[in-house]
Amino acid sequence: METPKKALITGITGQDGSYLAELLLEKGYEVHGIVRRSSQFNTGRIDHLYVDSHDPRARLFLHYGDLTDGSRLVTLLDKVQPAEVYNLAAQSHVRVSFDEPEFTGLSTGVGSTRLLEAIRMIGLECRYYQASSSEMFGATPPPQNESTPFWPRSPYGAAKVYAYWMTRNYREAYGMFATNGILFNHESPRRGETFVTRKISMAVSNIVAGKQDYLYMGNLDAVRDWGYAKDYVEAMWLMLQADQPDDYVVATGTAYTVRDFLQFSFEHVNLDWEKYVRFDERYLRPTEVDSLIGDASKARDVLGWTPKVLTPELARLMVDADMNTIDLRTKLPAQL
Q: Which residues are annotated as a binding site for NADP(+)?
A: 128
Do the beta carbons of residue 125 and residue 178 sit within 8 Å?
A: no
Least distance CB 49 / ligand NDP (angstroms)? 14
135 in active site: yes
Smaller CB separation from ligand NDP, 154 or 205: 154
Could you tell me how many helices (H) and strands (E) the chain has, helices first?
A: 11, 13
- Cα–Cα–Cα angle for 241, 247, 251, nearest 5°? 95
Residue of 18, 133, 134, 201 with catalytic role:
133
Strand partners, 9: 33, 86
Site for ligand GDR contains 60 (CB under 6 A): no
Site membership for ligand GDR, residue 224 (CB under 6 A) = yes
> Does residue 176 contact residue 170 with C-beta atoms inside 8 Å?
yes
Which partner in ligand GDR, ligand NDP, none is near 89 (CB below 5 to 8 A by kind)? ligand NDP
Do 169 and 127 contact (CB within 8 A), yes or no?
no
Q: How far is the CB of 243 from ligand NDP (least distance, A)?
A: 24
Establish if 107 lies at the interface with ligand GDR (CB under 6 A). no
Q: Which of 196, 204, 315, 318 binds ligand GDR (CB under 6 A)?
A: 196
CA 205, CA 321: separation in Å to the nearest integer? 9
Q: Using an 8 Å Cβ cutoff, are 30 and 61 in contact? A: yes
Show binding-site residues: 128
**What are 217's strand-pairing partners?**
279
State the binding partner of 217 from ligand NDP, ligand GDR, none, CB within 5 to 8 A by kind.
Answer: ligand GDR
Which residue in 50, 151, 165, 283 binds ligand GDR (CB under 6 A)?
Answer: 283
Catalytic positions, written as ranges:
133, 135, 156
